[in-house]
Amino acid sequence: MEKKAVRVAYGEALCKLGETNDKVVVLDADLAAATMTGGFKKQFPNRFYDCGIAEADMVDMAAGMSTMGLIPFCSTFAVFAGRSYDQIRNGVCYPKFNVKFGFSHAGITLGEDGGSHQAIEDIALMRVLPNMTVFVPSDANECYQCVEAAAKIDGPVFIRTSRLPSPVYDPQPFEVGKGVVLKEGKDGVLFTCGIMKEHAIEAVDILAGQGIDLSLVNFHTIKPFDEALAREFAAKYKKVFTLEEHSVIGGLGDTVASAIIGHGVESFHKIGILDVFGQSGKPADLLKEYGLTGPQIAENIKSHL
Amino acid sequence: MDIQTLKDQARQVRRDIITMTAKAGAGHPGGSLSCTDVLVALYFDVMNVDPKDEKNPNRDRFVLSKGHAAPALYGTLCERGYFGREEFDGFRQLHGILQGHPDVKKCPGVDASTGSLGQGISIAVGMALGAKHTGNPCHVYTIIGDGESQEGLVWEASMAAAHYKLDNLTVILDHNGMQIDGTNDEVMSLGDIKAKAVAFGYDVIEVEDGNDMQQVLDALHTPACPGKPRYILLNTLKGKGVSFMEGQVGWHGKAPNAEQAEQALKELEG
């Protein structure tokens, strides 16, 4: 299966968007080669603004530019969502300015740079902000859809992307705020987002081989969240699992939990980063260290059934 | 506009500041009174704005980066015709358009929501850059505080303003020398702020008395220096115009009581 990093798809999507929408401008904080906005910079040099290593300034500059009718996409590492949080909150979300954030290198699969750079809290930080839309694309095709949708939304949008190349699945119909049912099975349901989709699919396949038939649902939009779909599957299949490359505090798991509480669930179990920081290592080794490989996820789920 | 009319407007805005903060029992009169003259000069003599066409895309933009001086901005906007004086009753009150700090979604004539210090100047830089990008002829003005200049973001934004040669941007420093916990020098010295502004690439004009209308007008009307952002250093007096507030740190974020308001309004009579 073809593999492509979601950040690469983000860069490609910006170029495509730039061809059809001349209001789109791109800002980066000296990371164009990493966030993959470099392609846009090359194709549209007059619509690319480097802000230097000053993420907070980048966000507020984008806020100002948006008031001139432009649609700024800012990019940096997801870990700097924390560094520029006040600017995202008060400069962009509070006035509901039309600024997009394509923040890359999220999660532990960033790898060797280590825990200081591995964002495990960005979804939590972003989804608590009023007016914000939060996308966590699960593969390249979904990222193209998220970027296209972001440009059409009048207001702030956060797009979380990953460094690690991951499988590119066939594109699914896309609607903002709607979950995507990948499989229906009677023994429980696994909700996932982002590049954990690959590992969720593997886990569900392993369990199927052992006679355990799980449903699998992917959420590209964490906010607004598809509460109706989460409730429907939780009520129907009773045993609920969530999987994310993010802290189990404040991310997809808690989003699902608040949606389904009181809807007849028998058990609920969150799989993700267990309130610890990451560390240096190869992405595959890190996934194993934190229990996020397909076989480990399958084992984890089985122990809770 | 003739200078006496501008001075009268400034006196009226000062009265508005006292009325508003006294009624609300809260607000920041000291730093509002220090930047009143430049606000009046901007809105009545310098900026291309029209309250009857407040969303005109080519209008000049203003960002009150020191957002806590909102009473001065509200008074100025009211006198300029953006809304009626009855809105003063809702200053800092539930459902009021005059929030504790300027809110672009609620108050007519406000171009950016500010109050988190350092952000306004950065937003203004983005506006000026966006104006250049889109060929918009507008000029962007922002007032920053001296205490605010302790925020790193002020300097990040300044670096970007010079880098992108934003000669359509004017940054105005309301240098009254005081902040919540004391004088700038007691809290965190700014050092040679003028030299810093020059070093960051601004075309700097220092105004000896930033509360003197003629001096303020002269600075604001100085033609832009091509390729450089402008920085106007206004030496001002905190609490200007109200004898018991002048030069007093304690009036940074404290409202006058009824008796004090009465005395202040008396002092501000024409």
User: B12-36: per-residue pLDDT in tens?
Assistant: 999 999 999 999 999 999 999 999 9
Q: Are residues A85 and A128 in the same domain?
A: yes
Q: For chain A, which residues score pLDDT lower than 70? A: none
By C-alpha distance, the chain B residue nearest A50 is B160
A145 and A231 housed in the same domain: no
Interface of B with A (CB under 8 A): 57, 61, 103-105, 111-113, 115-116, 118-119, 122-131, 133-134, 136, 152-153, 156-157, 159-160, 163-164
Asked which of A104, A138, A167 is the last residue of a domain, the reply is A167
Radius of gyration (C-alpha) of chain B in whole angstroms: 17
Q: What is the pLDDT of residues A127-175, one digit of tens each?
A: 999 999 999 999 999 999 999 999 999 999 999 999 999 999 999 999 9
Instruction: Residue B57: list chain A partners with CB under 8 A.
Output: 68-69
Kindly state whether residue A163 falls inside one of the protein's structural domains: yes
The answer to whether residue A215 sits within a structural domain is yes
Model pTM score: 0.97
Q: Which of A146, A167, A188 is the last residue of a domain?
A: A167
**Which of A167, A196, A222 is the C-terminal boundary of a domain?**
A167
CB contact under 8 A, A61 and B126: yes
- Read off the CATH number of the domain in which A56 is found: 3.40.50.970
Q: Does A49 touch chain B (CB under 8 A)?
A: yes
Mutate to test the interface with B, among A57, A74, A83, A93 (most CBs of B within 10 A): A57
Q: Cα–Cα distances in Å, from A146 out to A141, A177, A237, B204?
A: 9, 11, 29, 45
Residues of A that are catalytic? 55
Identify which of B112, B128, B153 has the shortest CB distance to residue A56.
B153
CA distance B207 to chain A (A): 28
Rounded Cα distance between B130 and B126, Å, is 6
Domain with residue A188: its CATH number is 3.40.50.920
pLDDT for B121 beyond 90: yes
- Asked whether residue A270 is domain-assigned, the answer is yes
pLDDT in tens, B122-148: 999 999 999 999 999 999 999 999 999
Residue A201: give the domain boundaries.
180-303
Interface probe with A: pick from B68, B114, B156, B159, most Cβ of A within 10 Å:
B156
How far apart are the C-alpha atoms of A60 and B116, rounded to whole Å? 11
Interface test with A, best of B54, B58, B133, B151 (most A CBs within 10 A): B133
A98 touches chain B (CB under 8 A): no
Is the per-residue pLDDT at B71 higher than 90? yes
* Model pLDDT for residues B175-189, shown as the tens digit of each residue: 999 999 999 999 999
A179-204, pLDDT tens digit by residue?
Answer: 999 999 999 999 999 999 999 999 99
What total number of domains does chain B contain? 1
* Shortest Cα–Cα distance, A150 to chain B (Å): 20
Which pLDDT does position B270 carry in this prediction? 77
Its domain, for residue B28, covers 3-267
Total beta-carbon pairs less than 8 A apart between chain A and chain B: 103
Residue A201 has what pLDDT?
A: 98
Give the integer Cα–Cα distance in Å for A298 and A212: 10
A63 closest CA partner among B101, B146, B90, B118: B118
Determine, for residues A54 and B116 on separate chains, whether the beta-carbon distance falls below 8 Å.
no
Q: What is the mean pLDDT of residues B203-231?
A: 98
Q: What local confidence, expressed as pLDDT, does residue A226 receive? A: 98
Mind telling me how many Å the CA of B120 is from chain A's nearest CA? 8
Both A148 and A281 in one domain: the answer is no
Q: Which H or E element spans position A242?
A: strand A239-247
* Number of domains within chain A: 2
Interface contact A44, partner B, CB < 8 A? no
Q: Which of A68, A180, A301 is nearest to B126 (CA)?
A: A68
**Same-domain status, A143 and A28:** yes
In a domain, A173, yes or no: no
Say if A227 falls within a structural domain: yes
Interface test with B, best of A26, A27, A68 (most B CBs within 10 A): A68
CB–CB contact B113 A94 (8 Å) = yes
What residue type is assigned to position B177 of the chain? G
- Asked whether residue A138 falls in the same domain as residue A189, the answer is no
B34-63 exposure pattern, b = at least 16 Cβ within 10 A, e = fewer: bbbbbbbbbbbbbbebeeeeeeeeebbbbb
Q: Do B124 and A64 lie within an 8 Å CB cutoff?
A: yes
The answer as to whether A64 is a domain residue is yes
Residues B115, B117, B118, CA angle at the centre, nearest 5°? 130
Q: DSSP letter string over A36-98?
A: TTHHHHHH-GGGEEE--S-HHHHHHHHHHHHTTT-EEEEEEETTHHHHTHHIIIIIIITTT--
Domain identity same for A157 and A277:
no
In angstroms, the separation between the Cα of residue A114 and the nearest Cα of chain B is 27
Confirm whether A175 is domain-assigned. no
Interface contact flag, A91 B128, Cβ < 8 Å: no
Q: State how far the Cα of B64 lies from the Cα of B142, in Å rounded to an integer.
A: 6
| pLDDT confidence tier of residue B66, bands split at 50, 70 and 90 | very high
> Is A161 in the same domain as A185?
no
- CATH number of the domain residue B249 falls in: 3.40.50.970
A155 close to B (CB below 8 A): no
- Residue A174: inside a domain: no
Tell me, yes or no, whether A185 and A129 share the same domain. no
A7 plus A140 within the same structural domain: yes
Residues of A in contact with B134 (CB under 8 A): 68-70
Question: Span B61-72, mean pLDDT?
Answer: 98
A117 with A184, same domain: the answer is no
Residues A139, A283 within the same domain: no
